[in-house]
């Protein structure tokens, strides 16, 4: 499953980060690397972007970009 | 000996606060050569020989944003003697990611571990000595907002500057990445030396596939071939690609060292508090209404509750001074034209603009509160989807919000946008956000026509600008700027109480700017206008300004504005002089109507405009092309005169159409 499919309050562990160029590099630089635990905290009032919690800080990304981040099956989700 | 220091760190880690602590008011703002990323520079307190440069807030040294490139270039080309890397202790993992990259640049470094007070207060701890040993970099725990640890930091930095030793450890790579970095370092050694690049830095950048570095190294085709082969080998053995491999390696190393020295049992109080605050401020249903309420409260406070009394106070002060000067001039029998030049020209013009200083200072006070508290990032989060509809991202909202203060810094702030397309669109749309220099005009019109509904009229004027910006965004998105919106990956920093010093410095900077503008551009413009309206074409002093040079120029263009409902030459003339600086619209009208006080001006205005045409005049004023300073910024940021002229033409055209619609529709509805 991918990161955008999580509901607020659910978490997972990153398996793979897709995308390309500036977007992908930025996702990696911000700490969205494989094996990192991520929780979805909330969804913005208009339904997008989403608020993530990882590496003890809060990050916001858009759903379409979150869809490029694949999570490990059967780990973390609460 | 003179030293140059670079201050580098993530966004939102207290970098500006630390910079202010270190330099006090000994700072000046400029630009990095060739680009318009802001460069702040200052002397460290009590260390006159040490200059420190505040580099842009960045998370990495990737080649994708201009801030990151500027930082790389500054360190590689200006050769600072040392780097102060400020690290947010509450968020140490992600902050150290930049630290590892800065270390590769091979310069002496000191880490200022900020917000240690918050870490301790929440029962967590960081073993600074162990961390320092792991990195081989001296670390000084500080709290920039409480001004703690600053003398120790300066002392450590001075020690590092004087000693020649460098204990820095760079062996933070493992396995396949380690092998690749070292093999490549071997191949590029000579080229890196020639290009003046630290070897380790150049090697990791080649592993990452960094295009600017590859070009700067001028490698032979055969060497490039070998490097690509080495990287392909690494990618194969790690089952991942080069960029992910490097990012992963850095974060793994950070995790490993943090295990032994960062003891985190729970989130900090500030983080817990932020989560609670966000439950309300970014709430599903209340988030947007709350944002609008906050803006409304700021406007009411600025324009009615606090601003107006302060403004009246300043105005009466200015009147007293003008009165003294006038009495003095009469007493020493200076010629009538000189007295008129000083009193009706200079004093009237500068005075009427200067009286708006309280409003500008207040507005910037609130804007910097929003920015420094961390709320602006939430605004971007809440508004992103909306802005995406007009082809922008939530990040564009921040420059646009600054646009309410002044278009010039707003246009400059578009530099933080990483996409060229978003940047250009934001630059064109930002001037529709009514800037504070236009306040005198609104004040003048509302006082004369809508005294009881000042706040409401002001609000509607701002909303009109926003609506026009949205329509323009939709037009631009589907014509000139087709393409993909920028990646939106943004940190939401913990809410913090803004440091008084930063807010005050920011206000002082803006006040200084405004006062300088009043006594230079506006002073000259006032005198020029006084000249044009006091003399006729054969340079005779005229008693009635309707015979003046300005009147004849204004009369020629005046008919253009007939569809908009105002054809008085003084109105059209004011719009022209407003191009020098928007405040001049008011000062021009004061001078042209010979009104000495705001009350007199109001009554003259009532003969020039009807309430409807006054509103149409307001609409035109907020939308038409920005002042010369903003135009210059637009030209610089868009990169060509042609593009800047097109942008201005578009804005003025839009203003004309909208004001015409307002007047004509209003007339049909029987409002005029």
CA dihedral over B316, B320, B325, B331, signed as positive or negative: positive
Q: Is B488 in the A-facing interface, judged by CB distances under 8 Å? A: yes
Name the range with the highest mean pLDDT among A39-43, B410-414, B436-440: A39-43
- For B559-612, write each residue's pLDDT tens digit: 999 999 998 888 998 898 888 778 888 888 888 888 878 888 899 999 999 999
- For A16-31, write each residue's pLDDT tens digit: 999 888 889 999 999 9
Name the H helices within B479-548. Answer: 500-519, 521-534
- For B205-261, write each residue's pLDDT tens digit: 999 999 999 999 999 999 999 999 999 999 999 999 999 999 999 999 999 999 999
Distance CA B177, CA B100 (A): 15
Percent of chain B with pLDDT over 90: 47
Residue B68 has a pLDDT of: 86
Distance CA B170, CA B180 (A): 15
- CB pair distance less than 8 Å for B278 and A62: no
Task: Give the closest-approach CA distance of B130 to chain A in angstroms.
Answer: 20
**Which value, to the nearest 10 degrees, does the dihedral of the CA atoms of residues B375, B378, B382, B388 take?**
110
Q: What is the mean pLDDT of residues B621-650?
A: 87
Residue B578 has a pLDDT of: 85
What is the CB neighbour count within 10 angstroms for residue B216? 18
Q: What is the mean pLDDT of residues B512-522?
A: 76
Q: What is the mean pLDDT of residues B274-279?
A: 93
Residue B36 has a pLDDT of: 54
- For B60-85, write each residue's pLDDT tens digit: 998 887 788 889 999 999 999 999 99
Q: Is residue B303's pLDDT more than 80? A: no
Residue A39 banded pLDDT, cuts 50, 70, 90: very high
A-chain residues near B97 (CB < 8 A): 29, 31
**Residue A9 forms part of a structural domain:** yes
**Residue A76 forms part of a structural domain:** no
* Mean pLDDT computed over every residue of chain B: 88
Most A CBs within 10 A among B489, B494, B495, hence the mutation to make, goes to: B489
The residues, any chain, with a CB within 8 Å of residue B100's CB and separated by 6 or more, are B172, B250, B253, B254
**Residue A17 forms part of a structural domain:** yes
A44 token code pair:
């913005």
Residue B44 banded pLDDT, cuts 50, 70, 90: very high
Residue B421 banded pLDDT, cuts 50, 70, 90: confident
Distance CA B281, CA B450 (A): 34
Residue with tokens 């972007």: A49
B174 token code pair:
């493992």
- For B128-160, write each residue's pLDDT tens digit: 999 999 999 999 999 998 889 999 999 999 999
Cα B242 to the center of its chain, rounded Å:
35
Total tally of structural domains belonging to chain A: 1
Residue B540 banded pLDDT, cuts 50, 70, 90: confident
Domain that holds residue A12: 3-71
Contact B621, B585 (CB under 8 A): yes
- CB pair distance less than 8 Å for B384 and A49: yes
Distance CA B131, CA B129 (A): 5
**Residue A46 forms part of a structural domain:** yes
Q: How many helices (H) and strands (E) does chain A have?
A: 2, 5
B510 token code pair:
């803006």
Residue B30 banded pLDDT, cuts 50, 70, 90: low
**Residue A28 forms part of a structural domain:** yes
Residue B98 has a pLDDT of: 96
The CATH number linked to A67 is: 2.30.30.90
B609 token code pair:
């405009």
Which of 235-274 (B) contact A at CB < 8 A? 240, 243-244, 247-248, 251, 264, 267, 271, 274
**Residue A14 forms part of a structural domain:** yes
Model confidence, pTM: 0.83
Q: Which residues share a beta bridge with A58?
A: A53
- For B325-375, write each residue's pLDDT tens digit: 999 999 998 888 888 888 888 887 788 777 778 877 887 788 788 888 989
Q: What is the mean pLDDT of residues B267-280?
A: 91
């Amino acid at each position: 499953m991918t990161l955008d499919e999580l509901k607020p309050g659910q978490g997972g562990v990153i398996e793979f980060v897709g995308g390309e160029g500036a977007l992908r590099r930025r996702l990696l630089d911000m700490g969205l690397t494989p094996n990192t635990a991520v929780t979805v905290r909330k969804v913005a009032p208009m339904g997008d972007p989403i608020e993530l919690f990882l590496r003890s800080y809060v990050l916001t990304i858009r759903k379409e970009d979150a869809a490029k981040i694949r999570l490990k099956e059967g780990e973390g989700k609460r | 000996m003179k030293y140059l220091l670079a201050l580098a760190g993530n966004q939102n880690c207290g970098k500006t606060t630390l910079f202010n602590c270190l330099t006090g008011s000994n700072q000046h703002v400029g630009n990095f050569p060739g680009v318009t990323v802001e460069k702040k520079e200052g002397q460290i307190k009590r260390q006159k020989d040490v200059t420190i440069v505040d580099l842009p807030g960045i998370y990495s040294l990737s080649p994708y944003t201009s801030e990151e490139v500027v930082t790389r270039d500054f360190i590689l080309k200006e050769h600072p003697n040392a780097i102060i890397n400020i690290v947010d202790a509450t968020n140490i993992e992600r902050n150290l990611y930049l630290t590892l990259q800065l270390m590769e640049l091979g310069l002496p470094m000191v880490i200022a571990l900020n917000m240690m007070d918050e870490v301790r207060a929440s029962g967590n701890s960081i073993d600074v000595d162990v961390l320092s040993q792991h990195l081989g970099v001296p670390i000084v725990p500080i709290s920039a907002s409480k001004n703690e640890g600053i003398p120790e930091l300066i002392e450590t930095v001075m020690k590092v500057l004087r000693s020649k030793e460098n204990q820095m450890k760079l062996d933070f790579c493992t396995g396949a990445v380690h092998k690749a970095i070292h093999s490549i370092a071997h191949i590029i050694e000579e080229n890196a030396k020639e290009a003046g690049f630290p070897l380790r830095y150049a090697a990791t950048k080649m592993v990452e596939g960094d295009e600017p570095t590859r070009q700067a190294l001028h490698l032979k085709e055969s060497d490039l071939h070998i490097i690509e082969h080495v990287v392909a080998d690494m990618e194969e053995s790690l089952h991942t690609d080069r960029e992910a491999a490097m990012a992963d390696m850095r974060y793994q190393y950070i995790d490993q060292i943090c295990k032994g020295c960062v003891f985190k049992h729970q989130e900090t109080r500030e983080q817990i508090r932020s989560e609670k605050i966000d439950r309300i401020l970014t709430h599903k249903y209340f988030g947007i209404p709350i944002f609008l309420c906050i803006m409304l409260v700021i406007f009411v406070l600025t324009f009615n509750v606090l601003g107006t009394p302060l403004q009246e106070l300043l105005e009466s002060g200015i009147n007293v001074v003008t009165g003294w000067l006038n009495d003095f001039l009469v007493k020493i029998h200076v010629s009538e034209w000189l007295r008129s030049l000083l009193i009706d020209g200079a004093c009237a013009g500068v005075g009427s603009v200067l009286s708006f200083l309280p409003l500008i200072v207040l507005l910037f006070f609130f804007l910097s509160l929003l920015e420094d508290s961390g709320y602006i990032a939430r605004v971007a989060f809440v508004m992103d989807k909306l802005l995406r509809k007009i082809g922008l991202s939530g990040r564009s909202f921040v420059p646009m919000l600054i646009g309410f203060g002044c278009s010039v810094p707003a246009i400059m702030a578009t530099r933080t946008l990483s996409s060229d397309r978003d940047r250009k669109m934001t630059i064109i749309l930002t001037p529709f956000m009514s800037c504070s220099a236009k306040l005198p005009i609104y004040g003048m019109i509302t006082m004369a026509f809508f005294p009881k509904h000042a706040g409401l009229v002001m609000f509607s004027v701002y909303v009109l600008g926003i609506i026009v910006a949205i329509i323009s965004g939709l037009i631009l998105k589907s014509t000139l700027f087709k393409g993909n919106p920028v990646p939106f990956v943004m940190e939401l920093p913990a809410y913090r109480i803004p440091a008084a010093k930063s807010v005050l410095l920011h206000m002082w900077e803006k006040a200084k700017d405004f006062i300088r503008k009043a006594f230079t551009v506006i002073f000259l413009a006032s005198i020029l206008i006084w000249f044009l309206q006091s003399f006729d074409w054969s340079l005779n002093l005229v008693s009635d300004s309707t015979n003046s040079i300005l009147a004849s120029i204004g009369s020629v263009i005046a008919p253009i504005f007939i569809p908009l409902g105002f054809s008085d030459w003084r109105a059209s003339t004011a719009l022209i002089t407003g191009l020098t600086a928007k405040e001049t619209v008011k000062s021009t009208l004061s001078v042209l109507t010979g009104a000495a006080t705001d009350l007199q001006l109001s009554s003259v205005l009532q003969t020039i405009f009807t309430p409807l045409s006054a509103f149409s005049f307001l609409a035109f004023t907020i939308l038409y092309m920005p002042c010369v300073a903003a135009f210059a910024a637009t030209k610089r940021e868009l990169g060509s005169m042609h593009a800047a002229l097109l942008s201005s033409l578009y804005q003025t055209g839009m203003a004309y159409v909208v004001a015409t619609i307002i007047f004509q529709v209003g007339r049909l509805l029987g409002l005029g």
